[in-house]
Amino acid sequence: MDDKPIQPEEPFPQQGRERMICPQPISALGTGEPNMEKPLLARMSPERVFMMGDNPALPRMPKAPKLLDFFRLRFSQITYHHLLQSAKNALDAGHDERIVIACLLHDISNGAFLRTEHGYWSAQMVAPYVSEEIAWAIQYHQALRYFADESAGFEYPDSYNHFFGADYEPPEYIQQAHREARAHRWYMTSRLITVHDQYSFQDNVVIDPEMFTDIIGRNFRQPRAGLGFDGSPVAHMWRTMIWPNNFL
């Protein structure tokens, strides 16, 4: 996107060689696209190796990346705007910072990682850095999106009728997660994510991510070593977004 600074290309360890990118196996599975491991391995030579480290086609991340660096330098445009708009909606509605940060993070795995099971991945990615309640709410929002709660101001999203067809029924594990969430003391935290979620797909709304710097500072424990380098159980997930094309 235009507001992402492009960082200068710097030397990298594999300079002088062609570097092949092998697509992730999960992205080809079931699509009819061939798994490229074998054909790419057959093309390998001393001058043609596999990508490891910084890919010059991507903006370079700082050495100790923070949350907003991932927003600016890695996330897809849709996720970038969607998360900022959701958080701003929650803020404008007068909710406390807990809800605002939950909205800001709720679909974070869609940005540059994985869409499938996004509530669970998103919760796991941020769990070491936020309160238990926020991670819980993010995990359960995936299920709650399929179930209306009119008393909270949430109807079944019309977008889901378009995405999945009007006759789509969520699988049993999602129905089970919905029942668990309903009975939980943090239900409304997760429900409010869904409330501010559904109105947040407008184009042409420009929000400066810096407006959330203070809220992030108070509700997201940024590791001094940077996301990806703090030795946390999820550091590898952040590193995967820094170097998404590493062969191994």
Task: Give the interface with Fe ion as residue ranges (CB under 5 A).
Answer: 107, 197
Name the residue nearer to Fe ion (CB basis): 195 or 242.
195
Q: How far apart are CA 188 and CA 186, in angstroms?
A: 6
Task: Give the burial class of 150: count Cβ atoms within 10 A of its Cβ; 0-12 exposed, 13-18 middle, 19 or more buried.
Answer: exposed
Cα(141)–Cα(195) distance, integer angstroms: 10
Nearer to Fe ion, 35 or 159 (CB): 159
Closest distance between Fe ion and the C-beta of residue 84, in Å? 11
Q: Which is nearer to Fe ion, 104 or 237 (CB)?
A: 104
Tell me how many helices (H) and strands (E) the chain has: 13, 2
Smallest gap from residue 107 Cβ to Fe ion (A): 4
18-20 and 48-50 strand pairing: parallel
Shortest CB 25 distance to Fe ion, Å = 24
Q: Cβ 203 to Fe ion, closest distance in Å?
A: 15
In the complex with Fe ion, the residue whose CB is nearer, 54 or 197, is 197
Q: Please report how close the Cβ of residue 119 comes to Fe ion at its closest, in angstroms.
A: 6
Query: Which token pair is 248?
Result: 């191994």
Closer residue to Fe ion (CB): 73 or 143: 143
Rounded to an integer, what distance in angstroms lies between the CA atom of residue 218 and that of residue 201?
Answer: 27
Rounded Cα distance, 195 and 188, in Å:
10
What values do phi and psi take at 25, rounded to 5?
-55, -40
